[in-house]
Structure 1
Amino acid sequence: MIKVRFLPLALLVSAYCSSYAFAGETSQFSIQIPTIEGAVDIDGDFNESQWQQAAIATIDFETNPGENIAAPVQTQVKIFATQSSLFLSYTANDPDPQQIRANLSDRDSVWGDDLVGIKLDTFNDARLAYQFFVNAYGVQMDSIENELTGSESDAWDGIWYSAAKQTESGYQVEIELPLRVLNFDPKDRQTWGIEFIRFYPRNEEHRLSSHQIDRNNNCQLCQLGVATGLENIQQGNDLQITPSLVLNRNGQRPHNANSEWDNDNNIEPSLDVRWGITPNTLLSATINPDFSQVEADAGQLDINSTFALFYPEKRAFFLDNKDYFDTHLNLLHTRNIGAPDYGLKLTSKVGDHTFATLITDDTHTNFLVPGNLSSDLANIDKKSHNFAGRYRLDLGKPLSIGALVTAKKSDDYHNYVTSVDAKYQPTDSDTFIAQYVVSDTQYPTDLFKEFCNSDDCLPKQNCNLNDCGVNERVLRTQKLGSFSDDMYLLSYQYESRNWDALAQYISIGEDFRADLGFVDQVDFNKFVTGAGYTWYPTSGFFNEVRLSGDWDISHNQAGDKLEQEAEARVQVNGQWQSYATFGVVTRDRVGRRHNGASLAIDGNTQMFSETMGWFYGNIKPTRTLFLEVDVNYGDDIDFANDQLGTRVKFNPGVNWKITDSIEMDLSHVYRTLDVDEGRLFTANLSDLRLSWYIDIHNFIRVSSVYTDIERDTSLYKYSTPNAQYQQLGNEVLYGYKLNPQSVFYLGYSDGLKADDAIDSLMKTEETYFMKLSYAWLL
């Protein structure tokens, strides 16, 4: 029987006693948006008669780094609606237009540029807000701010229109937001939360707003102004049909001398349909979807790490209204769905109620096998069926409660997860969070063999690190029949202008699994508490200084200590758009298990004491140059040999706008680990990307990710890794983007490897590909 250890929702519901109220307040800012006949041409000029009838607002306040002081530059906004679109124009004056920071760039890659934009909470309930920004070249950026999780995601892409024009007095921007990209209540007269925003980066990055923002209120979406009017607006025929065609030729060969290539030609047609059934209900469907990822992930160095790497979702079908599924815990990570034949998603918001449903299959079954000291990916070569359903009830500003169900099922395998969650904000500064989750899982009886270290995969009693045939992943998957367990989270946060504090407890049972999510650690519980103080100097180099610290302790479910940590941090923001944070951490934590046939901690591991210092900083000294560096130095466990070593990490990066249309991104990771007998390894990873933006729609990108690892194999006690390992991935890509869904890509990529057997880089894979898609808006 599963033990229920959860703060009853009834306590939170009983605490809620106020009636529903709008989130945006007219006392902050208000504007009445007229509905006018006739659209305008989006060309950056404001010469149509409709602009004379538009509502007018000004962006008068600097909210950061200045605290609600007068804006240093003048910005005028005009706004009106037609029955099917929202139109905006910005006149952004600048005393020195030569200093405007803007470049041709990829969509959603213009942070740090001169920008103007708008934030819209179309339900005015402080839960989700759309953000649309445009730089002085007309490059778009959009995102969704999620108050529940406190996150902001730019992965979502809407189809909207913009144009910009630089003038002798600054620049001006014209925007059309088709109402089809927004969710809102279908009623004759609207009340939306709204904020007009301008980013003005010079020596400091000034955030300018149409109204003041109170730093004593930790809810940003509760501080929007109010837009009324918008009479008789409607989405119209909100139907988008996007056929796609992907052609690729993929060649692979084993990393052996004189090996033969195995070439495979593929032609994959697909169809996506996006239908706004009503302005607040969206149905998305896909048949044989194109889930090819055109651009390579950023390089990650996987060395001396025991947990699986995390890669973000980038695929459009999963990203549309993704926030409707979010909870405080990552229980739905759709990158676990690799290659489905179909997908169906329905999302809706009706009054205080939010619904979301996702159904797909997958040609394979991929999921994470978690533990308390390590995790790894598992694959079952069988088709799986996947489901996720989410419901959320928003009871005014203070209280949200919700439920999430996920299911992943294949032959001889299933994982079912049920979750309930609540967020309660009784004051502007206090937030309580609670979530309880249960799971029921069954693995195939031979799944554990995927992780065996020997042919027989038989547990050897009292084996040492050198001859164990099993490991934690084997023991976590050696299950007969179905098994169940639970997970829960309790959290309290306090945030005011100067002070903040956190107390949080999370517990995850040893048999808990969330195979559609990204929960990479189980059989542990953790308590963390911390506090910080922030002040805002009005003179000198720094405009924000923060001191903070926290303490945490973790155990397995048997009560054995896994880790105890204390950390102190300093964070500063200053001139030259600079940011820096540095700190010291001390911790005690266990190494690897001595007897791989047992999951025990006490008597089966060694506790190590570590002290490490770290620093991260970035700066933008000119309009063309952005520099950053990440440095670690101190103690680190050598997990391969279960001993303490000294870690050095140096990770510089540079973004150089060579011209307004040519950009170079270069980052490098240098890591070493020294033990008593010498240097165990030296690892280098370089990630270089050169981009030429021919215009706002066309670009060419060349990228290379190179990994080089050198090991002293004589220092490895329990294994014999390659003394040298190299990997090189290259990509050449031409892209044309009419909008996020109407694209043409043509490219080539390859992969090369070298190790002790073949000590020069040998090409083991290459791909030629083309992708064509077009979004028909009906």
Structure 2
Amino acid sequence: MNDRDGVRAWALVLALAFALCGAAPSVAAEGPRALRLAPGASTPVVDGRLDEPAWAEAPLFDQFVQFQPEDKKPAAWRTTVQVLVTADALIFGIRAYDPAPALIRAPLARRDRIGRDQDFVSVVIDPVGLRRSAQFVRISAAGVVSDGVFTADDDTEDFSPDFDVQAAAQRLPDGYSVELRWPLAALRFPHAGGAPWRLMIVRNIPRDEANTLVLSAPLTKEALNFIAELQPLGGLDDLVEQVRERSFLSVRPELTARRQQQTAPGLPTARQQTLNLGGELKWRPRADWVIDATLNPDFSQVELDAPQMAGNTRFALSVPEKRPFFLESSDIVGQTQADEEGLNHGLVAFYSRAITDPDWGLRATWRGASAEATALSLRDAGGGQILRAHAYNTDSHAQALASQASFARGRMQLGGASVGLLGALRDYGQGLNTRLLGSDFAWAASDVDLWRGHALLSAENLGFDAQDQALRGPTETGHHLWLAWRRRTEAWNTQVHLEEVSPHFVNDNGFVDQAGFQRVTLNVHRRLPSQTLAPLGEWSRFPTYELEWQLKLLQTQTLADASQAVPAGEVIERRVQPGFWLSSVRNTGVWGHLGLDQQRAHSGGPLHAPRTVTLGFESNPNDWLSFVSAEGEWGRRLDVDADRLGLGASFWVQARLRFPIPWGMGLDVEPQWSEGYVNGPDGRRSFTERTHQLLVVLHMGPLDSLRVITQAKDFQRRGEAVPVSLSADKFGNDNVSVVYQHRDGLSRVFSLGLSEAQATPGRQRNIELFAKAVWGWSR
């Protein structure tokens, strides 16, 4: 395909997008109202009981509707919500009635692990009032909390941010009740001129016959995102005016003691003991500003990243962020989002995991009524990887230099659209740096249509010699252009992505795994009307709540890159994947597709035609096997290093088991396993890759837990002389981590842990023992 053919393909996809475009009306309804407590009035104790006098006076809202498994239906379970307003907090009282309270699933769990397999209620609040993003807190029937941020543009929920809230639950003869105290200091709202605060209450009821989700807002599945119908929270009156000048300060000092030992065959044992004093500060001088600072942060208690299979790809893999400093107002930063196909869409300007070991950091975030902005700068001690992406692979270089990483982004709301400006700088000293400047936008053209895009320009002069040492090279410039359209109606869900990344686009503050290409993606999902699904339920003996026919099309082709000897217009990959997705009882989803694809392993190589079948499912079977998910691909797969097709497969399985233990304790067991292989011409495996992780958590009470993680990853390639020359290769690593943690909110945490890591070849072994204490205060 030449450049002209590529332009025609892009134009055809855009024409199809506009042909399908249209509008649908939204539904509005009055939501809950709050009761303002008089100064000096007695405030409820957060114990989940709802028995204080204030609850008898607060307005009661109970107009809930069903969203899943089928929308547009009245809620079968009664749920009520009441809201109180004090001088410094919102207090929510939620009553979840249940005709079979013995079936309520309320196991002990870790923070941020409250999912659809448990009974929970959730408070979703947008204090800005524009329904662009919303903070949420889930509380299970056991009183365990999950919290995070919804982002409308991506229609995603991020559980990484943590809010300093108080919550409690009480089991009752006819259900359970929940109290949630949400301090105003933990809400992000404009100083003046903001829209009314918006709210939605969510309740999840897991049962064998159906996993039901009911909402206080009239949301339907054709909505562009989950927070599209948040309703105004009445009764707040002049609350914002009264508290907008109030200052809040939180200081969290931390002390970490660590002992490390490193051994390797033929080398003396290296031992090191360190004592690290650090901490974090969060200051909100008034409603619209938040200042964050960190000094010598230690992340030893952060959970290990799950291993990923990477032996049959030449591109870098991204991992999620878990470090608290980077999680303030993550919706403004706009970090990279990987879709279900593994493609990194969204704003790729900032990827916090590119900052490996920060010595200190400072960040300021501002939210106005129609604009917001954030800026941060951190000193990174180094030790990570610097990526340089190409059309067929990602080069990785050791980050031996310390650097200063800076990023800023501002965004303005213009009616149904938003426009942003951003800049990034990675300064390695000695005149070495990478720079980024760009703009992004999002436009809700109607209630069912969303357009997004960005244009980024980069410049860098950081090169590497043959020994992988950093040096100053000629300044290289590049660009990253991206345009996306999403349309969601009752019957259709259509997504189009157009992307172009020039060969020398670089962003050392972001994640760039591929460059020097053009890509067009079209995903079309056709949802069948519910009345046509009844015969399927009779045939399968299980009701079918939703069924989608899917078609996924993708083409990626090269841009000319003389430095890599890559010509223009060379097809890297084509995907043609017809498939399906259906949902049934126990929150079960089943999916599958045919892979009628084409792939090229390197420039100038043959364009292979792999043929595969993929099937997968996930479910919440019962209270002890609370979650299970599996996916498998089988057929003729591409062996990238051998540059040939072979019969092979790839499998992935994950489960979550929960067991009650006497004395009020609980046990979580979460195994995860994956394997992939491709056979050679002789029918024997050319390579095999395996990963596994076993996570075991003993909950000794609401505040204490013992977490054990074992994980391993290994890759083996068989040596071959013909028909291609391949050297035998074998590498792997094993990790074990044991951590006891006592957590009382966000400001009082004690952790004691032991970890061991072994790598092959070389049999290098690292053992680390640490103790960490966090004792914070706020005013």
Asked if Structure 1 and Structure 2 have the same fold, meaning a TM-score greater than 0.5 normalized by the shorter chain, the answer is yes
Aligned to 2:443: 424
Partner of 1:394: 413
In structure 1, which of residues 543, 546, 550 is the aligned counterpart of residue 545 of structure 2? 543
What does 1:464-543 correspond to in 2, within 5 Å? 480-535=473-528, 537=530, 539=534, 540=537, 541-543=543-545
Counterpart position of 2:376: 358
Rounded to whole Å, the distance in 2 between the matches of 1:690 and 1:652 is 16
| Amino acid paired to 2:289 | T
* SS of aligned partner of 2:467: helix
Whether the 8 Å contact between 1:331 and 1:519 is mirrored in structure 2 is: no
554-563 or 314-323: which moved more? 554-563
> Does residue 279 of structure 1 match 2:287?
yes
Query: In structure 2, what is the equivalent of residue 406 of structure 1?
Result: 424
Q: By how many angstroms is 1:718 displaced? A: 4.0
AA in 1 matched with 2:695: R
| Aligned partner letter, 2:515 | V
Task: State which of 254, 268, 275 in structure 2 corresponds to 1:244.
Answer: 254
CA distance in 2, matches of 1:238, 1:269: 24
Cα distance, 1:668 vs. partner? 1.3
Contact 1:31–1:228, Cα closer than 8 Å, also in 2:
yes
Amino acid at match of 1:481: P
- TM alignment of 1:304-315, pairs within 5 A: 304-315=312-323
- Whether contact under 8 Å (2:302, 2:323) holds in the other structure is no
- Aligned equivalent of 1:336: 354
1:527 Cα offset (Å): 1.2
Indicate how the Cα distance of structure 1 residues 416 and 144 shifts in structure 2: closer, same or farther if over 3 A, else same: same
Q: CA deviation at 1:209?
A: 1.2
Give runs of aligned pairs for residues 187-226 of structure 1, distance below 5 A: 191-203=196-208, 204-226=210-232
Per-residue deviation, 1:85: 0.5
- Which residue number corresponds to residue 172 of structure 2? 167
Q: Out of 570, 578, 589, which is 2:580 matched to?
A: 570
- Match of 2:85? 81
Give 1:290's aligned residue: 298
Could you tell me whether the CA contact under 8 Å between 2:128 and 2:189 is conserved in 1? Answer: yes
Return the alpha-carbon distance in structure 2 between the equivalents of residues 188 and 492 of structure 1: 31
TM-score when normalising by structure 1 = 0.88
Comparing 534-543 with 660-669, greater Cα deviation is found at: 534-543
Q: Give 5+ residue unaligned stretches, structure 1.
A: 8-22, 452-476, 593-600
1:305, distance to aligned residue in structure 2 (A): 1.7
Equivalent in the alignment of 1:553: 555
Distance 1:219 1:297, change over 3 A: closer
Structure 1 position 581 matched with structure 2 position 591:
yes
* Cα deviation, residue 620, structure 1: 1.9
- 1:41 alignment counterpart: 45
SS at structure 1 position matched to 2:326: helix
CA contact (8 A) 2:32 2:82 kept: no
In 1, the alpha carbon distance for the partners of 2:725 and 2:421 equals: 46
Q: Distance in 2 between matches of 1:515 and 1:60?
A: 47
Aligned to 2:113: 109
1:159–1:740 CA contact under 8 A, matched in 2: yes
Please state whether the residue corresponding to 1:440 is helix, strand or coil: strand
Residues 110-189 of structure 1: matches in 2 within 5 Å? 110-112=114-116, 113-186=118-191
Distance of aligned partners of 1:586 and 1:449 in 2 relative to their CA distance in 1, 3 Å threshold: farther
1:321 and 2:321 aligned: no
Structure-2 residue corresponding to 1:299: 307
Kindly indicate whether the alpha-carbon contact (under 8 Å) linking 1:680 and 1:715 is maintained by their aligned counterparts in 2: no
- The answer to which of 208-217 and 280-289 deviates more is 208-217
Determine the C-alpha separation between the residues in 1 that align with 2:721 and 2:66. 58
- The runs of at least 4 consecutive aligned structure 1 residues that moved more than 6 Å come to none
> What is the SS of the residue equivalent to 1:308?
coil
Farther-moved stretch of structure 1 (24-33 vs 357-366): 24-33
The answer on whether the counterparts of 2:637 and 2:649 sit within 8 Å (CA) in structure 1 is: no
CA 1:416–1:367 in structure 2 vs 1: closer, same or farther (change >3 Å)?
same
Report SS of the residue matched to 1:318.
Answer: helix
Pick aligned residue for 1:751 from 753, 757, 777: 757
2:742 equivalent in structure 1: 736
Q: Is the contact between residue 59 and residue 197 of structure 1 (CA under 8 Å) also seen in structure 2?
A: no
Q: Which moved more, 1:150-159 or 1:669-678?
A: 669-678
Change over 3 Å in CA distance of 1:329–1:752 after alignment to 2? same
Provide closer, same or farther for how the CA distance between residues 574 and 536 of structure 1 changes in structure 2, counting only shifts above 3 A.
Answer: farther
Q: Which residue of 1 aligns with 2:623?
A: 623
Give the 3 Å change call, closer, same or farther, for CA 24–560 of structure 1 in structure 2: closer
Distance 1:437 1:60 in 2: 44
What secondary structure does 1:77 align onto?
Answer: strand
Counting aligned pairs with the same residue, the percent is 21
Q: Distance in 2 between matches of 1:752 and 1:700?
A: 22
8 Å CA contact 2:492–2:524 kept in 1: the answer is yes
Distance 1:140 1:298 in 2: 23
Aligned length, in residue pairs: 713
TM-score if structure 2 supplies the norm length?
A: 0.88
Shift of 1:568: 1.0
Q: Contact conserved, 1:429 with 1:495, CA < 8 A, in 2?
A: yes
Residue aligning to 1:29 = 31
Deviation at 1:552, TM superposition (A): 1.8
Q: Which residue number in structure 2 is paired with residue 472 of structure 1? A: none
- 8 Å CA contact 1:24, 1:124 repeated in 2: no
288 and 726 in structure 1: CA distance in 2 versus 1, 3 angstrom threshold: closer
**Offset of 1:739 from its aligned partner?**
1.5
8 Å CA contact 2:554, 2:576 repeated in 1: yes
Distance (Å, rounded) in 2 between the aligned partners of 1:706 and 1:431: 42
Gap change, CA 1:715 and 1:750, over 3 Å in 2? farther
Checking the alignment, whether the CA contact within 8 Å between 1:293 and 1:315 is kept in structure 2 is: no
Q: 1:616 touches 1:630 (CA, 8 Å); kept in 2?
A: yes
Is the partner of 1:450 in helix, strand or coil?
coil
- Checking the alignment, whether the CA contact within 8 Å between 1:189 and 1:228 is kept in structure 2 is no
Return the alpha-carbon distance in structure 2 between the equivalents of residues 530 and 629 of structure 1: 23
CA distance in 2, matches of 1:619, 1:524: 38
Q: Secondary structure at the match of 1:621?
A: coil
The amino acid that maps onto 1:492 is W
User: 2:331 corresponds to which letter in structure 1?
Assistant: D
In the TM superposition, residue 279 of structure 1 has moved relative to its aligned partner by 1.3
**Uncovered stretches (5+) of structure 2, i.e. residues with no partner:** 1-6, 11-24, 336-345, 538-542, 560-567
- Read off the aligned partner of 2:312 and give its amino acid letter: N
CA distances 1:43-80 after superposition (whole Å, capped 9, x unpaired): 12222222222221115211211222121211111111
CA RMSD of aligned residues (A): 2.3
- Which stretch of the first structure deviates more once superposed, 51-60 or 685-694? 51-60
C-alpha distance in 1 between matches for 2:607 and 2:100? 60
Aligned with residue 68 of structure 2, among 59, 64, 67: 64
Distance (whole Å) between structure 2 residues aligned to residue 705 and residue 72 of structure 1: 43
Q: Please say if 1:434 is aligned against 2:442.
A: no
